[in-house]
């Protein structure tokens, strides 16, 4: 027996967890316990505050569905997703196009569309063109790369917010041509608020934050032998370009649409963006985000 106080309980916990056979689980849980105990001591956490936090996390869990991942949203607004992304980028064999958040609105199984198609079923504003080339880090074209795109519409809504659950819109998958080029039509998405009707939105409001993301188009590119690229392009003239609620913007990902005589669809404003895919590395740890539907209870 030992008399434990708020300090010695940390070592007692670590000692008991010392039997963990999986070394990585052991390392992660030890650090988590040390930091969580230190956090409680630093703020002198009271029982009622801790119960409030547990109630909050319970609500976050209950808000998760096949089309909504409130825990990812929580990680996003706390800047943790951005930290994990930056660590992931640092482990790449070479640095290609910078990554950005996958966010909670990615869905597997969008339609594969021919190059030049529009990803918007009923555009109410003039379309724009997004085009460019997918290459390796040395500029060699990558034919047949899968380019998955998804975005909000001109009103700032994703399909799952604008339509019923099953209806896919404002998203599509394309294959680069023999010279690695891609192009498709879309509308300029409107910047939007993260979902504010759940516990995470309530927290953001309590913190006096605006909850807005600047206008952006999500891109996920896969090419054989290369590291999967999860990124997004951000429109530089958006009012919230410098204060993204989820810290996804990097300067190299900021774009502007313009009249462009070299665009494959002349007459429409265009954004040209070339993507560089780094080589796959042994230490690749997978995608930094997921389709909400892929989170199933461990027992299933
Ligand atoms: C998004 O870009 O879709 C997104 C990312 C993080 C939180 C909410 C939305
Ligand atoms: Fe988004």
Query: How far is Cα 77 from Cα 277, in angstroms, rounded to an integer?
Result: 27
What is the mean predicted confidence (pLDDT) over 232-256?
A: 96
What is the mean predicted confidence (pLDDT) over 116-145?
A: 95
CA of 217 to the centre of ligand 2 (A): 7
Q: Of ligand 1's atoms, which has the minimum distance to the CA of residue 158?
A: 3
Lowest-pLDDT range of 167-171, 175-179, 273-277, 284-288 = 284-288
CA of 165 to the centre of ligand 1 (A): 18
pLDDT at residue 163 is higher than 90? no
Q: Report pLDDT for 283.
A: 59
Please tell me the number of the ligand nearest to residue 244's CA.
1
pLDDT at residue 252 is higher than 70? yes
**Within 10 A of 116 (CB to CB), how many other CB atoms are there?**
14
Please tell me the number of the ligand nearest to residue 103's CA.
1
CA of 64 to the centre of ligand 1 (A): 15
Query: How far is Cα 233 from Cα 166, in angstroms, rounded to an integer?
Result: 26
Per-domain residue ranges of the chain: 96-285
Query: How far is Cα 300 from Cα 290, in angstroms, rounded to an integer?
Result: 18
Residue-wise pLDDT for 237-246, tens only, equals 999 999 999 9
Please tell me the number of the ligand nearest to residue 105's CA.
1
DSSP designation for 105: T
User: Which CATH superfamily includes the segment(s) 96-285?
Assistant: Aromatic compound dioxygenase (2.60.130.10)
Extract the tokens encoding 67.
């089309």
Q: Report pLDDT for 196.
A: 93
Residue-wise pLDDT for 44-68, tens only, equals 999 999 999 999 999 999 999 877 8
Q: Report pLDDT for 300.
A: 47
Extract the tokens encoding 211.
């909850």
Residue-wise pLDDT for 4-35, tens only, equals 999 999 999 999 999 999 999 999 999 999 99
pLDDT at residue 159 is higher than 90? no
* Residues sharing a CB contact under 8 Å with residue 49, sequence separation 6 or more, in sequence order: 43
Please, what is the Cα angle at 256 between 254 and 258, to 5 degrees? 160
CA of 189 to the centre of ligand 1 (A): 13
Query: How far is Cα 30 from Cα 17, in angstroms, rounded to an integer?
Result: 8
Measuring from each residue's beta carbon to the nearest atom of ligand 1, which residues come in under 6 Å?
73, 76, 101, 103-105, 194, 213, 246
Alpha carbon separation from 100 to 51, 86, 130, 196 (Å, rounded): 34, 9, 18, 21
Determine contact, residues 289/248, Cβ cutoff 8 Å: no
């Amino acid at each position: 027996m030992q008399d434990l106080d708020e300090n010695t309980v940390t070592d007692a916990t670590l000692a008991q967890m010392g039997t963990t056979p999986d070394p990585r689980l052991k390392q992660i849980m030890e650090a988590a316990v040390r930091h969580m105990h230190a956090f409680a001591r630093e703020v002198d956490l009271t029982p009622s505050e801790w119960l409030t936090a547990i109630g909050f996390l319970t609500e976050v869990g209950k808000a998760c569905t096949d089309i909504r991942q409130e825990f990812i949203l929580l990680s996003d607004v706390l800047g943790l997703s951005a930290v994990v992304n930056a660590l992931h980028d640092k482990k790449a064999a070479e640095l290609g196009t910078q990554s950005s958040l996958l966010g909670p609105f990615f869905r597997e199984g969008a339609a594969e569309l021919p190059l030049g198609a529009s990803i918007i079923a009923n555009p109410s504003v003039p379309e724009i063109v997004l085009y460019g080339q997918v290459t390796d880090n040395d500029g060699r074209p990558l034919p047949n790369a899968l380019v998955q795109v998804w975005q909000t519409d001109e009103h700032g809504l994703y399909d799952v917010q604008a339509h019923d659950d099953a209806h896919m819109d404002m998203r599509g998958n394309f294959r680069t041509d023999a010279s690695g080029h891609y192009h498709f039509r879309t509308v300029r998405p409107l910047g939007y608020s993260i979902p504010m009707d759940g516990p995470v939105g309530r927290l953001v409001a309590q913190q006096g934050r605006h909850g807005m993301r600047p206008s952006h188009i999500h891109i996920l590119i896969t090419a054989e032998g290369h590291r999967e690229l999860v990124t997004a392009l951000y429109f530089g003239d958006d009012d919230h370009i410098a204060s993204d609620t989820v810290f996804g913007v990097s300067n190299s990902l900021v774009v502007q649409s313009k009249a462009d005589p070299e665009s494959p669809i002349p007459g429409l404003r265009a954004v040209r963006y070339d993507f560089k895919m780094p080589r796959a590395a042994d230490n690749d740890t997978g995608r930094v985000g997921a389709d909400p539907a892929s989170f199933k209870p461990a027992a299933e």
